Amino acid sequence: TKYSLCFSVGYSAVAFNHVIDFKEKKQEITKPVSPTELFPSLPIVQGTSKRIKVLTRLTLIVSDPSHCNLLRSTSANIKLYDIIAVFPKTEKLFHIACTTLDVDLVCINVTEKLPFYFRRPPVNMAIDRGIYFELLYTPAIKDSTMRRYTISNAISLMQICKGKVSSQSENKPLELRGPYDVANLGLLFGLSESQAKAAVSTNCRATMLHGETRKTACGVVYTVKKPRKVEEEETPVPVCKKAKTQA
């Protein structure tokens, strides 16, 4: 099947994407299909003896600020997805997505001339929060006009976000490309060699971990040792003796 191809190409983790477009009415977020129902036994990663990880992912296409309310509400189904990505359509939404929304990925549409320019402040804030940007490379395979737009948008994205990117494929099995092929495309977009390989490996893993922490951690408590006040004395007293008298 289609999925067996992406396993044979050399990936070690795959995420099934559910896309929700809010422009259509009555969109509800359904429970994700559990991967174990689709595959009774997962195939093994090429060259190792580990099984492929299958995750679930939700992409929200937002064109209106009211759509973001869904992310803030504690809808039970949203928590079931491993990775959440948002696809902002306007500049204001891009700003909101980078700064306040609780997501792991921000998708950038590369097939059209972008209606907004990337500005450095929200992009830097997103990078600090651990959010990565995402590009589709499939349109570049289909059509030469798409190819030009993809490459020009990708290059402008790289210049602003200093290479914190991961990549994505979609749809038909023939349009899938192996991980090293995609890393090579990163070189075309202006990344350095290490950044290009990271775009397929390290950054994707960081996104997975970010999703995991979003699911589990709600707050962190840590203790800090307070420095003891040093009292000035003429004869220095050993610390243990001092503690005894203080107790």
Our finding on whether 176 is near another protein (CB under 8 A) is yes
Residue 139 has which token pair?
A: 């349109």
Our finding on whether 108 is near another protein (CB under 8 A) is no
DSSP string, 4-72: HHHHHTT-SEEEEEEEEETTSSS---PPPPPHHHH-SSPPBPTTSSPBPEEEEEEEEEE-SGGGGHHHH
Our finding on whether 178 is near another protein (CB under 8 A) is yes
Minimum gap (Å) between residue 170 Cβ and another protein: 14
Nearest to 29 by CA among 57, 55, 64, 3: 57
Our finding on whether 245 is near another protein (CB under 8 A) is no
From the list 39, 184, 208, 215, which residue makes contact with another protein (rule: CB under 8 A)? 184
Cα(46)–Cα(42) distance, integer angstroms: 12
Our finding on whether 187 is near another protein (CB under 8 A) is yes
Phi then psi dihedrals of residue 109, to 5 deg = -80, 125
From the list 19, 33, 155, 188, which residue makes contact with another protein (rule: CB under 8 A)? 188
Our finding on whether 1 is near another protein (CB under 8 A) is no
Per-residue contact flags (x/-) with another protein for residues 47 to 86, judged by CB under 8 A: xxx-------------------------------------
Per-residue contact flags (x/-) with another protein for residues 6 to 25, judged by CB under 8 A: ---xx---------------
In angstroms and rounded to an integer, the radius of gyration of the C-alpha atoms of the chain is: 23
| Residues sharing a CB contact under 8 Å with residue 63, sequence separation 6 or more, in sequence order | 22, 23, 89, 90, 93
Our finding on whether 190 is near another protein (CB under 8 A) is no
CB-facing half-sphere around the CA of 26: CA atoms within 13 A: 0
From the list 46, 171, 202, 213, which residue makes contact with another protein (rule: CB under 8 A)? 46
List contacts with another protein (CB under 8 A). Answer: 9-10, 44, 46-49, 140-144, 147, 172, 174-178, 180-182, 184-185, 187-188
